[in-house]
A and B are shown apart, each in its own frame.
Chain A
Amino acid sequence: MSVATTHRSLLARWRQRLWRLEARDRGAVVLRHQRIYILPTRRGLSLIATLTIMLLTTMNYSLSLGYALTFLVSGVVAAALLQTYRNLAGIVATPLAAGEAFAGGSLPFTLSLAAGTSERQSILLAPGSGAPVRIDLPLGATRPLQLSVDASVRGTLALGRVTVSTDFPLGLWRGWAYLHFPLTGIVYPAPEAPSPPLPPGPDGFDAQRSARVTEADLAGLRDYRAGDSLNRIAWRAVARGAGWYTKQFEGGAGGGVVELDWSTLPPALDPEARLARLCAWVLACEREARVFSLSLPGVNIASGSGAGHRRQALVALALHSDAGIVYAGEVAP
């Protein structure tokens, strides 16, 4: 029993070591020989095959210079292998941040790459799905870079395994290493488009009134809180050096509280369509600077406005599950 466990754990350890299938790279990772794989590219294989044929010809005709040429080019190929290895070894990769996205878009993750003790050329970072990014690093440089991962389904989205690779200098060898950081971003539902107008408020106020906020509605200033919309910052006060304040408007914003409620939506809509519509409305509220509240099965978000409020609502939509269980634990604000 214990032997079997040991075996399995040993096997799992080796599998993790070889393929890095689990996100266990916490913090900065230095690429060392344990992580770096090198194999010839197709072009490299062609060249090696050519060298083999050259060697056979040389042996048949006893051409001393044929040996010299074949081995000299082989020496170049071998030196290129070392250079490919050296181009990767010693790179330090650090996970920085996970972004957010709407379903159907792409979610940006930020990593930083440090060149360390030598210059790096043509380093390719490829996430599991999404476009690879190429970067050159001068000696000693550290550069942030953004990897975009295709976000197709709402919910949480892990960066997954990233492949760092290079075929520098001659394209004969491809060296690569796997990085698996536990970075997770959040994917909001794709907003319904075009979406129906916002539902009317509880006081029967017409929510359709396109109420642009004007300075006339300004009710006062309050202390700036992180997440407040840039549009509402009292820039004049900032410019005066008086500090950071956020403008507050009469009645929130022109049209009273908008109640976004899962249960009032037409029963014909399936859950995802409901989420998409609610998402579109949340964005509309934000756009029109309206105060809104959101209630989903199991989640109630009191009325409010601002970027923090909006985000809270969107996260609730993203993580909504039919079972009514919402986990917001892992998602950093």
Chain B
Amino acid sequence: MNAAAAASVAPLARLQLGWLAALILCAQLPLWPHLPPWVVAVGSGLVAARLLMPADRGIPAKIRLWLLPVLALAVALGLRANYGYFLARDPCVAFLYALLGIKFIETRSPRDATLLACLALFLLLTRFFYGQAIGSAALSLPAVLVLGGTLAALRDPASAARGWYAPLVATARMLFQGVPLAALLFVLFPRLAGPLWGAPAEAGARTGLSDSMEPGSISSLSLSDAVAFRVDFVGRPPPSAQRYWRGPVLSRFDGVQWSAPLRLPGIHAPERGPAIEYTVTMEPNNRPWLFALEHAAGLPRPPLDDVTAPIAAQRTLAILTDDDQLFAATPVTQTIRYTQRSVLSDRFRSSSPRDARINLQLPRGNPRSVAFARDLRERAGSDRAFIVAVLDWFRREPFVYTLAPPLLQGDRVDDFLFDTRRGFCEHYAGAFVFLLRAARIPARVVTGYQGGEINPDGGYLIVRDSDAHAWTEALLDGVWWRLDPTAAVAPSRIERGLGAALPQGEPVPYLARMDMTFLKALRLRWDAVNYQWQRSVVGFNLQRQREVLRDLGLESARPWQLVVLVGALAFAWGVALLGVSRAGRVRADPACALWLRLCRRLARAGLPRRPSEGPLAYAARAAERWPRWAATLERIGDTYAALRYGPADGTARERIAALREDLAALPSARRMRGV
């Protein structure tokens, strides 16, 4: 007790500090890309600084008293300035990150070490706020091993005598042993449909499609290879030119920016025609948008609705707005899957009386464009002829499709249409809608994704951020028609993707390039692995859990039954693990086991063996006590002594059998006691 108490106040050895530093760095490392650089520098720099100080002291006590609170406060204020707020997820993660370093420089006692190990473990979890790809899972594993090593070193610094890797190997073994239990809990632990507290959504922008567009301000969106969503089609996927994934509809224009009007629920009038069905697995984008091919023939629903029918009935995934956009009830903060039906069509009947009114609104300015449109409209004679003429004009004039257009100034539409004539989809869509409205034709910009890439490895479609697109719709005789001016300028963009549309020498997102190199094939294969990972591990939610339970025949099990099941399986796991470790070991000597049985029986009968007594003496004493079985008792003593101490003469087996027989011939302890 004394030594244990002394050990708990003894300062940490250098080796223990080293392990602790390794653990903290392992927990901090995966967060580096997601935190402000100065937080990374402070949090990890302090860890390195502590290692340069004497192991048993850390910084002097006088400085420690004021330095640590001051440091913590400074970091907190810095984060407040950096993020603009403090009590939210990201600043708190950053603060925890820095706090590990701040605490580590004053760490001396094992108690501090325990606290740090626990904080580091928690920090490891926060990495998953920022993404749950295979890579981030793989980055966490070494930290778990180092956690085991740290705990082993904290328990006993002398354990390093077996080599620094020994605790890692031991922990790896325990990790391996724990996997069945972890898998069991992972599958059966109840998943929640919503958060326990607060909204997990984080304020702040993510890359992806946005709610507005400003032609003339350079977009970096198109250059991102990040996956927006993946799609499994029932049957063959439609051709690229028909894959318009409808997103936010932008009706308002203030001369610079296109933005969405107030969204109203629409009266859903499904299109007639053959519908196709597909399942979308969407990456979280923190936006309340779901995407459907134009045009949706119904509302999205959870896949395999026969299993999750009760949920599907309770939970509406999304509504359809009056401009035909799928709008989710909550922002998409975790990977979700939904099944959607669409009728492939480039038109749909307007259901909203306000469409014609709000889609004619034009700001002042851009006189050249207005004059051009009115003039062309008069010459064309009809709305349809006018549209054809404008598209023809785009095709004829030297417009260039490029991802690096010059910035636009002044009357932006005029500047683009008549001066620069270089731009990408946003420019063309915006300018085209402007011309149509100038000619008194209701029109609007539709954003979303166009195309996507079929992954030959998985037979599914990948839609990336770089597939984001903007096109237009015009209202003619109560029907919205899809018109894509980009297709007029660069038809290959629509038919074959971004890489094909861009001129030689332009920077193209890597995966949007046309050449099917080995590297690209590898990337596609990796994406297929990732997709599986997303579907089966990251996407393992309430829905998937119900599917698995149904497959196991447990869908009607009550919670307590599941708890009992988990308990029983965990118990079986423990017994199996203890059994496995025993198997293959030397079995107890059978002669010894028999002898011990005799000793136990005689002890119960009132004649325990004295510690000093050998088999012969004990047997003799027992024979004296129970003359009736004297011969048997003495024979047992002799046989055991011969087996144990005599020369090995090959008769061991017979002797053991004889021993067993003699033992069986003896009466029970109770009867012997009575004699």
**CB within 8 Å of B: which residues of A?**
26-27, 42-43, 46-47, 49-51, 53-54, 56-80, 82-83, 85-86, 94-96, 117-118, 122, 124, 126, 131-132, 134, 140, 167-172
Chain B residues, CB < 8 A from A70: 125
Cβ-neighbour of B196 out of A43, A59, A76, A86 (below 8 A) = A59
Selected contact of B611 from candidates A64, A94, A170, CB within 8 Å: A94
Among listed B479-487, B576-584, B666-674, interface-contacting one: B576-584
The CA-CA distance from A54 to B123 in the complex, in Å, is 10
Q: Once the chains bind, are B189 and A75 in contact (CB under 8 Å)?
A: no
Q: From DSSP, what is the main secondary structure of chain A's interface residues?
A: helix
Contact yes or no, B170 A169, CB < 8 A: yes
In contact, A170 and B148 (Cβ under 8 angstroms): yes
Determine if B552 is an interface residue (Cβ-Cβ < 8 Å): no
Find the B residue at minimum CB distance from A94.
Answer: B611
Give B638 Cβ to nearest chain A Cβ, in Å. 21
Listed in ascending order, the chain B residues whose CB lies under 8 Å from chain A are 1-4, 110, 114-115, 117-118, 121-122, 124-125, 128-129, 132, 136-137, 140, 144, 147-148, 151-152, 154-156, 170-171, 173-175, 177-183, 185-186, 189, 191-192, 195-198, 200, 333-334, 537-541, 570, 574, 577-578, 581-582, 585-586, 588, 599, 603, 608-609, 611
6 A-B pairs besides A64-B538, A73-B147, A82-B577 with CB distance below 8 A are: A43-B110, A58-B125, A67-B186, A72-B178, A77-B178, A170-B155
Contact residues in B for A62 (Cβ distance below 8 Å) = 191-192, 195, 200, 333-334, 541
A-B CB contact pairs (8 Å), 22 listed = A26-B608, A42-B114, A53-B122, A60-B196, A65-B537, A65-B538, A71-B183, A73-B144, A74-B185, A75-B177, A75-B179, A75-B181, A75-B182, A76-B174, A79-B181, A79-B577, A85-B578, A86-B578, A117-B588, A140-B586, A170-B148, A172-B151
A71, B537: Cβ atoms closer than 8 Å: no
- Alpha-carbon separation in the docked complex, A61 to B3 (Å): 44
Within 8 Å by CB of A132, from B4, B125, B148, lies B4
How far apart are the CA atoms of A83 and B151 in the complex, in Å? 14
Q: Are A122 and B156 in contact (CB under 8 A)?
A: yes
Q: Identify the closest chain B residue to A128 (Cβ).
A: B1
A76–B577 touching, CB < 8 Å: no
Can you list the 6 inter-chain pairs with the closest CB atoms, starting with the nearest?
A: A75-B178, A171-B155, A79-B174, A71-B182, A75-B182, A50-B118
A63-B186 in contact given A82-B574, A82-B577 (Cβ < 8 Å): no
A64: chain B residues within 8 A (beta carbon): 132, 537-541
Distance in angstroms from B100 CB to nearest chain A CB is: 13
Alpha-carbon distance between A65 and B129 when the two chains are bound, in angstroms:
10
Give the chain A neighbours of B585 by CB distance below 8 A. 117-118
Taking CB as reference atom, which chain B residue is nearest A33?
B578
B175 contact from A27, A46, A75, Cβ within 8 A: A75
A67–B189 contact, CB under 8 A?
Answer: yes
Tell me whether A43 and B179 are in contact (CB under 8 A): no
A65→B132 contact, CB < 8 A: yes
Given contacts A26-B603, A82-B578, contact A76 B1 (CB under 8 A): no
CA distance A86 to B177 in the complex (A): 14
Name the B residues within 8 Å of A118 (CB-CB).
581, 585
- Residues of chain A lying within 8 A (CB to CB) of residue B173: 79
CB distance from B593 to the nearest CB of A (A): 11
CA distance A60 to B191 in the complex (A): 10
Determine the distance from Cα of A253 to Cα of B114 in the docked complex, in whole angstroms: 66
How near does chain A come to B460, taking the closest CB pair, in angstroms? Answer: 20
Q: Which B residue sits closest to A83, measured CB to CB?
A: B174
Which of A46, A56, A57, A126 gathers most chain B CB within 10 Å? A57
Chain A contacts of B118 at CB under 8 A? Answer: 46-47, 49-50
Give bound CA distance, A71 to B125, whole Å: 12
Mostly helix, strand, loop or mixed at chain B's interface? helix
A69 with B578: in contact, given A118-B585, A131-B2 (CB under 8 Å)? no
Contact check, A71 vs B128: say whether CB atoms are below 8 A apart. Answer: no
Question: Does A95 contact B537, Cβ atoms closer than 8 Å?
Answer: no
Nearest neighbor of B191 in chain A, beta-carbon distance: A62
Indicate if the CB atoms of A76 and B144 lie closer than 8 Å. yes
Given known A-B contacts A43-B151, A72-B144, A26 and B175 have beta carbons under 8 A apart: no
Smallest CB-CB separation from A136: which chain B residue?
B158
Tell me whether B177 and A79 are in contact (CB under 8 A).
Answer: yes
Query: A183 → chain B, closest Cβ, in Å?
Result: 9
A261 to chain B, nearest CB (A): 37
- A134 vs B159: C-alpha distance when bound (angstroms): 13
Are B197 and A167 in touch, CB under 8 angstroms? no
Within 8 Å CB of B117, what residues of A? 47
List, in ascending order, chain B residues with CB within 8 A of A47's CB: 117-118, 121
Interface centre among A64, A70, A83 (most CB of B within 10 A): A64
| Docked pose: A96 CA to B611 CA in angstroms | 8
* Chain B nearest CB, measured from A148 CB (Å): 12
**A-side contacts of B4, CB under 8 Å:** 124, 132
A143 CA to B79 CA, complexed, in Å: 59
Taken together as a complex, chains A and B put the C-alpha atoms of A77 and B117 apart, in Å, by 14
A61: contacting residue among B140, B170, B195, B540, CB under 8 A: B195
The reply to whether B174 and A80 contact each other, CB–CB distance below 8 Å, is yes
Q: With a CB–CB cut-off of 8 A, which chain A residues contact B603?
A: 26
Q: How far is the CA of A118 from the CA of B578 in the complex (A)?
A: 12
A71 contacts B186, C-beta separation under 8 Å: yes
Contact of B582 among A69, A83, A117 (CB under 8 A): A117
Q: Which residues of B sit under 8 angstroms from A65, Cβ to Cβ?
A: 128, 132, 136-137, 140, 537-538
The answer for the CA separation of A59 and B128 in the assembled complex, in Å, is 13
Indicate if the CB atoms of B1 and A132 lie closer than 8 Å: yes
Which chain A residues lie closer than 8 Å to B129 at the CB level? 61, 63
How far is A63 from B156 in the complex, measured between Cα atoms in Å?
A: 35
* Assembly CA distance A65 to B537 (angstroms): 8
CB distance from B203 to the nearest CB of A (A): 15
Q: Which residue of B lies closest to A51 (CB)?
A: B121
Instruction: Please tell me if the beta carbons of A66 and B125 are within 8 angstroms of each other in the complex.
Output: yes
Write out the residue numbers on chain A whose beta carbons fall within 8 Å of the beta carbon of B128.
Answer: 61, 63, 65-66, 69
Q: For B156, list chain A residues within 8 Å (CB).
A: 122, 171
Chain A residues lying within 8 Å of B570, measured Cβ to Cβ, are 78
Complex: A79 Cα to B578 Cα, angstroms: 10
- CB within 8 A of B132: which of A49, A63, A78, A168? A63
Q: Name B182's contact: one of A53, A57, A74, A126 (CB within 8 Å).
A: A74
Contacts known (A27-B611, A82-B577); A126 close to B1, Cβ less than 8 A? yes
Q: Which residue of A lies closest to B150 (CB)?
A: A170
Closest CB in chain A relative to B325 CB, distance in Å? 25
A57 to chain B: closest residue by CB: B125
| With A69-B124, A94-B611, A118-B585: A60-B200 Cβ-Cβ less than 8 Å | yes
Write the chain A residue with the least CB distance to B190.
Answer: A59
- B181 near A74 (CB under 8 angstroms)? yes
CB distance from A136 to the nearest CB of B (A): 10
Contact B2 A132 (CB under 8 A): yes
Name the distance in Å between B533's Cβ and chain A's nearest Cβ.
Answer: 10
**Contact assessment for B1 and A95 in the assembled complex, using a CB-CB cutoff below 8 Å:** no
Docked pose: A73 CA to B174 CA in angstroms: 10
Cα distance A122–B162 in the bound complex, in angstroms: 14
Contact of B586 among A50, A117, A122 (CB under 8 A): A117
Closest to A97 in B: B611
Q: Give the one of B122, B132, B151, B152 with max A CB within 10 A.
A: B151
Nearest residue (CB) in A for B335 is A64
Contact A74 B178 (CB under 8 A): yes
Residues of B within 8 A of A82 (CB): 177, 574, 577-578
B151 in contact with A171 (CB, 8 Å): yes
B186 and A68 within 8 A (CB)? yes
Assembled-state Cα–Cα distance A59/B333 (Å): 14
How many angstroms from the CA of A42 to the CA of B115 in the assembled complex?
A: 11
Whole-angstrom CA separation of A142 from B570 in the bound complex: 34
Cβ–Cβ < 8 Å partners of A124 in chain B: 4
Taking the closest CB of chain A, its distance from the CB of B111, in whole angstroms, is 8
Q: Are A132 and B3 in contact (CB under 8 A)?
A: yes
Contact B182 A72 (CB under 8 A): yes
